[in-house]
Every structure is written in C-alpha cells, then in structure tokens.
Structure 1
C-alpha cells in the first residue's frame, strides 16, 4: 500500500462529507463518528468555555481584584484574537463543518486562550501566591503549572486533529497567548496593583464589595481562619443569650 493511501482526508486537505461528523450534545464541536480519540479531544476543546464559566463564578462570589484582572486579561486576549483573525484573514482547513462561527483561523483562539491562561498562571503562582521555605511544600504549584500547559497543548492539538485549524494557526495562537500572558501579568503587577487599595476603598468598590488581597500571603488560609473565628464568636453569643 502506498504511504499516501494511509493519510486521512483532513491530512490531505480534502473536505469530508458532513454526514461523517457528529457533535457533543449541547455543543457544536464536531468529530468523526466512531473516533474515540476525536471524542475525547472534542471535550478538551471545550476547556476554554469551562474556564470562562469558572472565572465568572469566582468574580461574582469572590470579587477579588486580582481575579477580576486575570479574567479581564482573558477577555482582552480574545478581543485581540478577533482583531488578528479579521486582519490576517487566513482561512481554516477545507472541511464541511455544519456550524462554524468564523471562517478565519489565524491565529487559533483556543490555543491563544489556553496559553495565555497557562502562562499567566505561572507568574500568578510564583509571584502572587505565598511561597513556602521548602520546595516540596510548593510541589502543588509545579503540578498545577504542568497540568495547565499539558491541558493547553491538548486543546491546541484537538483543534488540528478535529480539522478546525492548521498546525501553523495553532502554533501562532500559542505564541501570541504566551507573550500576552507575560505582558498582561506585568501590567497587572506593576501598573494596576498599586491602585487596588484605592479601588477597593472607593464608594463604588464598597458598593460592589470588591476586595484587595494583595498583602495577604495565604488567602485561602486567611478566609478559612476568619470564617471559623467569626462562626465561633457568633456561636458564643447565641449560647450566652440562651443561658440568660
């Protein structure tokens, strides 16, 4: 058998019939029917959507200015991706996709989003989050970073495998996302962070209950001990009233 006969239609850049594809329920991410790897990668391609929902939840319930800045960077990253796509105007690979939100594919928005997220996460964990004296106690940070970049790579690869992007579109998306992640963290850390106390203390900040946790080394531990202390104080008051 000739080596070229082993290539798939996508690799040959030949459109496949739309009937060959199916999509995950409630989504429009399509993969070839009966392809288990494509099915798994289709789920990975939904990670950016899941992260957006997670960030919205954090912003609404925590209202921390660092989290809001992180999310704002992701939105700016998406806006720049849209601008680049409509400036470069490079088409996606030839494929009969029944649902496609934009015909342009350079750079890949999924790859750009995920590499922005993973790169910003590196700086956030090692500069913003508290540091332990022993590296073993910070092992969870390395695991999160490895997981972030692994997930970003799988999402990027899924876009090529599923036929939504070419390899170069995904690579450039990753490069742009990585660079923007570095730049945006520098902007937040150097330019925006000094204004956080004033924003949180402003009338609008108090109205929206915005929080600045810049000077708190271990936010999770602080929130845990604060809520536990407040709960005990209130329990003592309730007990004291009942005894009277």
Structure 2
C-alpha cells in the first residue's frame, strides 16, 4: 500500500536553501525573494493605478527576463559546486544571474524614471485652492503671520508658526497642505540610491548562498543595467513618436482605463487633491447649513 504513494515534488519558485545557523544566510534567503515581491508590487500598482508608465516598466522587466533566459541558453555556464549547500541549490545555468539582472533592471529603470522623466508640479487647482479654502478656517491668517505667500503650499516653518499663532487646528490644516508636496530632487535621489542598495544586497546574497559565482552576478548586474538604460530609451521613443498616446486611445486601453499621469503627478497626490477640494467644499456647506439652521431653531423656541 505504501509503495503506491506518489512522491511529492518541490516547487522551486520560492524554494531557497540556506544555513539556519547563519543569520546572514537567513537574511540572504529573504533577499532572494525580492524579485517575487517586486512582481506582486507591479501587479498591485497596475491594478490600482492603471498607469501606462508602470505597465511599460513591467513590460521591460519581462523583456529583461527573456534576455536573461536567452543569455543562459547561449553561454551555458554551470552554477558553482563549491560546498554541499550549493550542490543542492538551483537548477539550470548560472550565467548571468537572473536575480541580479532582475533587481538591477528594476533599480536602474526606476532611478531613470525618478531622476529624468518624473517632473511633478503643483497643479493650479490643487494645493493652492486647498490653501485658499483652509485660509478661511485660520490657516491663511497663521500663514500670513508666518510670512508665507497667500494661496501657496506652506513650508515646515509655516506649520510650526501656525501652531504657535493659530493653535492645533491651524497647525493640522497646515501640516496637511505641507505633506502633500511632491518629492523634490533630493528625495528622488535618496529613493533611487536606496533602490540601488537593495539591488546590490540581492546580488550579494546570490554569491553568499552559493547559487552563483561573483562573475555570474557581475554579468547579471551589467546585463540588467544595459537593459534598464535601453528600455528607458525605447519608452522615450514611444513617447516622442506619439505611439504611446496612440496606444492609450485604443479601445482596450480605454476599457481598462489606462492613463499616463504619473510622469507629471505624484501617485498619492493625484487623487488626494481632488478629495481634499471636495472635503473642504463639504465642510463649507456644513458650516453654511449650521449658520442657516441656528436662527430657525431659535424661532421655534
């Protein structure tokens, strides 16, 4: 009876061998899951934002994987066999490292977008309009006392002075307007540097776990960087030639509500400003309703 039992197989997609007695090996095992986590992030952003730039970057990521598969089949270099852990780790060829190529493409393509293509600006109907609305509730007076420009998004100094002069309510309103500012260049540089550090850690983990040699990882990093720059150039041509705009007018893109706003808008900012304007209008209507309801209540008494 026991001989009829079919042996189970292991799904190697997330199966990582590591030394449980080594904290760095344990950390490396988690770093090996970063590409899978990034795929989940891509899918989540595609579904929640429907942004063309996210779709293009994900398409480039898949193209980079196809290049990695082609290179492995072409070079046919085996994985390292230096110790027992490596003898059980990884199937297929090891040159170049697919993990290294994946994360470096993501880091390079994301950095090029943030530093070159992404040019967010404060829309005329956004924070300035919200600032004018908030001014009616005390923010404008506090901001004016702080030396701020009327109708402009307040600075952190304005927030502090608003608290001193207008109390907690004015400071809260001021902080809301301040926190809605898009990332500046320094912040985008910091995020890009963090992405490159994560990519470097993932690449290092492949050598530490024994899945790849240093040469295979460096080759993967180089291939990922080249693919990232090349794909950025391709997407630039798609925009410049009007092919992206043409694609966004196709019925399928319209049906899925694909849009191209993230180049000029912050992902969190785009919908928030619409909500903030609507919220302020609702509060203003509520205050008017209370003012109109007060005298009527007095007459009934």
**Pair in the same fold by TM > 0.5:** yes
Any conservation in 2 of the 1:107–1:172 contact (CA below 8 Å)?
Answer: yes
* Structure 2 match to 1:221: 269
Whether 2:102 is the aligned partner of 1:93: answer no
Whole-Å separation in 1 of the counterparts to 2:206 and 2:70: 20
* Structure 2 match to 1:30: 17
Whether 2:94 is the aligned partner of 1:105: answer yes
Q: CA deviation at 1:119?
A: 0.8
* Deviates most, 148-157 or 222-231: 222-231
Whole-Å separation in 1 of the counterparts to 2:285 and 2:92: 64
* Structure 2 match to 1:189: 236
* Structure 1 match to 2:255: 207
Q: CA deviation at 1:131?
A: 6.2
Q: CA deviation at 1:171?
A: 0.3
Deviations 1:126-148 (A, max 9, x none): 1222268xxx9422112111111
* Structure 1 match to 2:206: 159
Whole-Å separation in 2 of the counterparts to 1:177 and 1:210: 27
| Secondary structure, counterpart of 1:96 in structure 2 | helix
Q: CA RMSD in A?
A: 2.9
* Structure 2 match to 1:65: 52
The 1:76–1:215 alpha-carbon spacing in structure 2 relative to 1, beyond 3 Å, is closer
Whole-Å separation in 1 of the counterparts to 2:117 and 2:285: 37
* Structure 2 match to 1:180: 227
* Deviates most, 207-216 or 40-49: 207-216
Which aligned segments of 4 or more residues in structure 1 are displaced greater than 4 angstroms?
230-240
The 1:239–1:76 alpha-carbon spacing in structure 2 relative to 1, beyond 3 Å, is farther
**Alignment gaps of 5+ in structure 1:** 1-25
The 1:156–1:214 alpha-carbon spacing in structure 2 relative to 1, beyond 3 Å, is closer
Which residues of 2 match residues 49-64 of structure 1 at below 5 A? Answer: 49-64=36-51
Any conservation in 2 of the 1:131–1:138 contact (CA below 8 Å)?
Answer: no
Any conservation in 2 of the 1:111–1:170 contact (CA below 8 Å)?
Answer: yes
Whole-Å separation in 2 of the counterparts to 1:228 and 1:123: 31
Deviations 1:84-133 (A, max 9, x none): 11111100011321x63x3200000000011111111121001222268x
* Structure 2 match to 1:119: 108
The 1:212–1:148 alpha-carbon spacing in structure 2 relative to 1, beyond 3 Å, is same
Q: 2:28 aligns with which of 14, 22, 41?
A: 41
**Alignment gaps of 5+ in structure 2:** 1-12, 122-182, 293-301
Q: CA deviation at 1:80?
A: 0.9
Aligned length: 214
- Superposition TM-score, scaled by structure 2 size: 0.64
Whole-Å separation in 1 of the counterparts to 2:67 and 2:92: 17
Q: Which protein has greater RCO, CA pairs closer than 8 Å, 6+ apart?
A: 2
Whether 2:194 is the aligned partner of 1:147: answer yes
